[in-house]
Amino acid sequence: MPLFGNSFSPKKTPPRKWASLSNLHLLDRSTREVELGLEYGTPTMNLAGQSLKFENGHWVSESGSFVGDRRELQRLRKRNQQLEEENNLLRLKVDILLDMLSETTAESHLMEKELEELKQHSRRKK
């Protein structure tokens, strides 16, 4: 029997009647956007005199087409292609070097193991 009465038993809290006291959740979406200021519009930025807006996950020129020099654009695309090819070649070379390194390491471990076995075998003969 406990000395000071029953063991600890907290009182249960009464359930809440409403999760929020605000009635804004009862309004439709357009009214909520007006009331809370949720209408931001599309993100836009100005880059090198070119105005761009973000639509459907891509940055698009507001004028609808690229205003820059077409030759410059072609040169940049060609350079980008060259860099991608060079990157792929370098990745291939790294993969080959890693394969060579792992093969050499495996051979080295095998040789060390054989050397240890030969040393142990020669010690037993003595």
Return the domain boundaries, the chain: 26-63, 64-125
Section 19-44 average pLDDT: 70
- Quote the pLDDT of residue 18: 61
The first and second tokens of residue 18, run together, are 């409403």
SS3 per residue for the chain: CCCCCCCCCCCCCCCCCCCCCCCHHHCCHHHHHHHHCCCCCCCEEEECCEEEEEECCEEEECCCCCCCCHHHHHHHHHHHHHHHHHHHHHHHHHHHHHHHHHHHHHHHHHHHHHHHHHHHHHHHHC
- Quote the pLDDT of residue 22: 67
Q: Does this model's pTM top 0.95?
A: no
Handedness of CA 66, 70, 72, 74 (dihedral sign): positive
pLDDT at 92 over 80: yes
Q: Which residues pair with 47 in a beta bridge?
A: 50
Tell me the pLDDT band of 23, cut-offs 50, 70 and 90.
low
